[in-house]
Amino acid sequence: MAKITFPVEATHIMMFARAIGDTNPVYHDAEAAKKTEAGGIIAPPSFAQAVAQFDPDYHLRPRPGQKWFGSGKTPSGVEGKPASSGGLHAEQHYEYVRPLRAGDVLTCETTPGKTWERESKRAGKLTFRERVTEYRDQKGELVMIARGVGVTTERPVDQG
């Protein structure tokens, strides 16, 4: 998989913190953040998920001129889509060398990990796929490793 360049920007961190309802000044107030142990604006622990914004081929973002599977005139813009939930997120793990900081320019490289299957009463056959992403900073030093597990279900997850 191609390497992605991920500029970590203060405004993006501020918006991310708002979305998770975190009012900690270390995520939005540069002056206050300077006086903390962090020494400046840092990103919340799961901020790296927003690297999707910098993936040119990210499949869960509508693109001009391409059909989108969400609703428009019809419930889905893509015909023949099976009535299944598609992929869901099963697990997410981070190992941190240091927090991500506003001003970092990270290089992210993802490699596929293990694949496994399991039967579930609530959703039929489950197929799990692991992806491991290394985040390196502008000096080439490892900052963080993310391991995500996605799951494809045979049918929508039963809510009973």
Q: Which residues pair with 155 in a beta bridge?
A: none
Between CA 144 and CA 153 the distance in angstroms is 29
Number of residues that bind other proteins (CB under 8 A): 52
Pairing mode of beta strands 4-7, 124-136? unpaired
User: Distance between alpha carbon 49 and the CA centroid of its chain, in Å?
Assistant: 3
| 87-106 residues near other proteins, rule: CB under 8 A | 88-96, 98-99
Say what the alpha-carbon torsion angle 53, 55, 52, 33 is, to the nearest 10 degrees.
-60
Contact residue for other proteins among 7, 30, 34, 53 (CB under 8 A): 53
- Which CB sits closer to other proteins, 14 or 107? 14
* Residues binding other proteins (CB under 8 A): 12, 15-16, 18-22, 24, 26, 36-38, 42, 44-46, 49-50, 52-53, 55, 58, 60-62, 69-71, 75-76, 81, 83-86, 88-96, 98-99, 147, 155-157, 159
